[in-house]
Structure 1
């Protein structure tokens, strides 16, 4: 993966986290509490300043009540949270 592709992927992930958090009406602090993270960590994720690990991806998906879908191709990256159906 080229550096440019890595930056696009980081930005796509950051936007997906931000969009889903806002969709739920959560502050960064509330999302962080749900995920067992700090508000600063959520801020770094949303600022594309943190490289997410697989455990972090899982924690964020759970905290945001969604599945996380990541599609990687040669010239396209897509990151999307899909809300779980209401119970």
Structure 2
């Protein structure tokens, strides 16, 4: 089983963090899509609860929001 799918809470935290950062920057989904070189529909799907984004999409969005995806050890 895909560990990313099985950890819904972690996935929700990532998506929530991206949405929060987008809003803090005052960006619309369309603005973020342009920055990330994606379609607005890709951003809408990413932000939709239950969606499982591709890693390359997460990386593009994070970069556009001046964030970095990082793995850390669990406490």
Matched, 1:29 2:22: no
Q: Which residue of 1 aligns with 2:58?
A: 57
TM-score by length of 1: 0.65
- For structure 2, the residue ranges without an aligned partner over 5 or more in a row are none
Between the two proteins, the alignment pairs up a number of residues equal to 73
- Distance in structure 2 (CA, Å) of the matches to 1:15 and 1:32: 17
What is the Cα deviation at residue 29 of structure 1? 0.5
- For structure 1, the residue ranges without an aligned partner over 5 or more in a row are 77-87
Relative contact order, higher structure (CA 8 A, sep 6+):
1
Question: Once superposed, what is the RMSD of the aligned Cα atoms?
Answer: 2.4
